[in-house]
Structure 1
Amino acid sequence: MLQVNLAEDIYYLGFNDRRTHLFENIWPIPHGVSYNSYLIVDEKIALVDTVERAFIDDYLDAIEEIIGDREVDYLIINHMEPDHSGALKAIVHRYPNITLVGNKKTFGFVESYYMKPENIHMVHDDHVLDLGKHKLQFQMIPMVHWPETMVTFEETNQILFSGDAFGSYGTMDGGIFDDEINLDFYEVEVMRYFTNIVGKYCPHTQRAIKKLAGLDIKMIAATHGPIWRSDLNWILKRYNKWSSYDLDQGVVIVYGSMYGNTKKMAETIARQIAVRGIKNIRVYDASKTHSSYIINDIFKYKGFIVGSAAYNNAMFPNVETLLTTIEHMAPKDHLLGIFGNYSWNGGGVKNLKTFAEKIKWDMVYEPIEEKGNMKVQTQEELIKLADAMADKLLEMPAPEKI
């Protein structure tokens, strides 16, 4: 394995996963994902997180290649999710005298997943672990995105080992640092990672950003994606924008349609919104596009309009699945419109109204429902819905460019 240094005696130990189709067995990762671990060699040797279990053998070999017969003294556990703790048991077996470093919530997870830990070192906010030349400071950032999550700040080189925070989907295809890669490609993967994994916990992310603002950070090394060393503001500004629900002028239109009638309604709405001058319009068929991508745009744009055909007196199943995910993620401060279609009995719009009551977004127009093919009167109502959404969107201030 080619050695990559973040700084003197600090090594990147990362592995690319191009085989897995679904991250957490939910979210599509067509461009794969990396698992990043870090090794600090000093008077004492510390590992910062581990990797997914599929890479254990190569991981252990890479560590031995750097340190030879020396022992690893500490394993810093910033986050216990198995894609980062997957090699924990193997590390303890290889280095039986190792001390596990975590906070008061960490070690319960260790016992639940792997074993009862014997050698532990419990840390808290501002606690410092002295390795010799390198000193590690710890800060707790719970629920970004598990309750035990913390970060490790290496004070000598001012490197923040951030766990899942500031991470990204996508493998490292040669380039590892932000100045070695095309960030235009990674922007979509960074945002999808945020909205799919961290987005549920935006208030906690905001608290973490404010808490870490006092550190003089020169580099951010997450457990997925690139290492940020040249343009930290690129990732920090985006995380701050997304986690504060700072939305752009635009609308996401999603529909579920069996025979095309609900689709026609969605197309009518989209066209009128475009006529009104709104350029960011995303129209999705809920049966074709995975919710991972739709959720991503919902975190980006202010407007959301959803339509459902009736299906067995209920909502169209793929629309229902999406809306359940949206309720779980609980994004804030959106504008909402709803519409639907039925053939012999309702159910789609009725259940969309229930979604509207739960999500508590600002409804821009009354729900619209058609029976069968779209009639002229219904088309006129859909245009009014589109106009109401456009009116609200056009009132928005111009977004700050990032």
Structure 2
Amino acid sequence: MSFEINQSVKHVGKIDWELKKFHGDELSTHRGSSYNSYLVRDEKTALIDCVWTPFAKEFVANLKKEIDLKTIDYIIMNHGEPDHSGALPELMKEIPDTPIYCTANAIKSLKGQYHQEWNFVPVKTGDKLSLGSKEFIFVEARMLHWPDTMFTYLTGDNILFSNDGFGQHLASEHMFNDLVDQTELYHEALKYYANILTPFSNFVEKKITEILSLNLPVDMICPSHGLIWRDNPLQMVHKYMEWAKGYQENQISIIYDTMWNSTRQMAEAIAAGIKMSDPQVTVKLFNSNSTHTDKNDILTEVFKSKAILVGSPTINKGISFAMAGILEMIKGLAFKNKKAAAFGSYGWSGEGTKLISTELEHGGFELLNDGLKITWNPDDEGLVKCQEFGKAIAEALK
């Protein structure tokens, strides 16, 4: 169902209440999402972005109820990923000659995915497209979060169509930021940044600085996922600047996997030791196994933490499958300004702790120490060692 953004802009996208996984199974979306497509009417009419492939026929059918497709003068594709472009093949069957404005990299992406020679018009930062009384200004946003990404600014209405920038995976019957629970909204915005944009934080900081230097008034930010920012829209821009600069809170996250509860006992004793030394610090424990904790929720907490402690039993001279997966994702997200240490239990070889330390170093973390390993189940003396380990961590972070 379409709804008005203002007198000249309508939302014609899709709210996906049932979505629980995204990017294959790489990203959890507990609260659903939306694929925001916008119809902009002036003397000329433009469609900004589309929807994900499973909703292509529904999207085109609904769009036909909204407008004669042949009166769409321009299609703007801010990003070629299928959650935004998936309906293009179905739409272009109806209006095959309509020009598609996008970056040169997006042309490569769209051709590579759909193998069609549509009427592509490449644009770059500063290029403009007149709609009559208003115009679009295009701003390339490379690596936010693909090489093909751009933002589109609408003069007159002062709207920034930001695609994946400033979005969240959040389905709501209220599609504006001032109408929803703010804690829920900010949690999903932070989770989105932590799990998708963190590796590109340097690009985020530079691009936002560039956009702010243009001194363009921004009355609304319309992303391609989640809610539209109409109440103080620049609040999320400033949040992105904060998140892009090695963000951390006064938090230590302990992430562990366990076979027979030895490593779990270590984790809990280490947490107790941290709190003995620093009662003010927030300590959170997470079992990395997916049957216990969602991996993307863990990564969001890593993003918030000033340090993480990672533990696993040694298994076949290695570490657990679940912990190896989490460490691979942590490494890929390239967190900045964070410290870490490893711990674990073992029976007869004990390589796990050193392997974790190595992976943490490869992920850009500053190691606080060489780690702690305990043979078999920790006895009272072993638990005291774990507490002392925790105290030392807390003192090192003060």
Q: TM-score, normalised by structure 1?
A: 0.93
Partner of 1:158: 158
Q: Which amino acid aligns with 1:6?
A: I
CA distance in 1, matches of 2:389, 2:354: 17
CA distance in 1, matches of 2:369, 2:351: 19
CA distance in 2, matches of 1:312, 1:386: 27
Q: Which amino acid aligns with 1:296?
A: T
Contact persistence 1:178–1:231 (CA under 8 A): no
What SS does the aligned partner of 2:312 have? Answer: strand
Contact persistence 2:266–2:383 (CA under 8 A): yes
CA distance in 2, matches of 1:196, 1:388: 30
Q: Which amino acid aligns with 1:379?
A: L
Contact persistence 2:32–2:169 (CA under 8 A): yes
Partner of 1:31: 31
Aligned-residue identity in percent: 28
Contact persistence 2:342–2:354 (CA under 8 A): no
Residue 361 of structure 1, CA deviation: 2.2
CA distance in 1, matches of 2:93, 2:271: 59
What SS does the aligned partner of 1:235 have? Answer: helix
CA distance in 1, matches of 2:380, 2:360: 26
CA distance in 2, matches of 1:392, 1:45: 59
Residue 56 of structure 1, CA deviation: 2.0
CA distance in 2, matches of 1:350, 1:70: 63
Using a 3 Å threshold, how does the CA distance of structure 1 residues 69 and 266 change in structure 2: closer, same or farther?
closer
What SS does the aligned partner of 1:314 have? Answer: coil
Is residue 59 of structure 2 the alignment partner of residue 59 of structure 1? yes
Contact persistence 2:199–2:334 (CA under 8 A): yes
CA distance in 2, matches of 1:71, 1:339: 63
Partner of 1:226: 227
Q: Which amino acid aligns with 1:304?
A: I
CA distance in 1, matches of 2:256, 2:322: 9
Residue 376 of structure 1, CA deviation: 4.1
Aligned length: 392
The match for 2:374 among 370, 373, 388 is 370
Q: Which amino acid aligns with 2:5?
A: L
Partner of 2:135: 135
- 87-96 or 250-259, which deviates more: 87-96
CA distances 1:8-63 after superposition (whole Å, capped 9, x unpaired) = 22111121212333111221212111110001122221111100122223322332
Partner of 1:73: 73
Partner of 1:299: 303
CA distances 1:200-245 after superposition (whole Å, capped 9, x unpaired) = 2111111121111123211100000100011224322322222211
CA distance in 2, matches of 1:286, 1:335: 19
Contact persistence 2:273–2:389 (CA under 8 A): no
Using a 3 Å threshold, how does the CA distance of structure 1 residues 264 and 185 change in structure 2: closer, same or farther?
same
Partner of 1:397: none
Q: Which amino acid aligns with 1:74?
A: Y
Contact persistence 2:354–2:371 (CA under 8 A): no
Is residue 240 of structure 2 the alignment partner of residue 239 of structure 1? yes
Partner of 2:125: 125
Pairing 1:3-402 to 2, within 5 Å after superposition: 3-25=2-24, 26-68=26-68, 70-172=70-172, 174-213=173-212, 214=214, 215-275=216-276, 276-287=278-289, 288-394=292-398
Contact persistence 1:42–1:131 (CA under 8 A): yes
Specify which structure has the higher proportion of strand: 1
Residue 134 of structure 1, CA deviation: 2.2
CA distance in 1, matches of 2:346, 2:324: 16
**Please, what is the CA RMSD of the aligned residues?**
1.6
CA distance in 2, matches of 1:60, 1:118: 17
CA distances 1:347-394 after superposition (whole Å, capped 9, x unpaired) = 211211321331342222331111111134433432232123212433
Residue 70 of structure 1, CA deviation: 4.4
- 297-306 or 199-208, which deviates more: 199-208
Contact persistence 1:368–1:378 (CA under 8 A): no
CA distance in 2, matches of 1:118, 1:59: 19
What SS does the aligned partner of 2:146 have? Answer: coil
Q: Which amino acid aligns with 1:27?
A: L
Residue 164 of structure 1, CA deviation: 0.3
Partner of 1:399: none
CA distance in 1, matches of 2:295, 2:56: 32
Contact persistence 1:126–1:138 (CA under 8 A): yes
CA distances 1:315-352 after superposition (whole Å, capped 9, x unpaired) = 11111110011011110111212111101222211211
Residue 68 of structure 1, CA deviation: 3.3
Q: Which amino acid aligns with 1:234?
A: Q
Where structure 2 has 5 or more consecutive residues not aligned to the other structure, the ranges are none
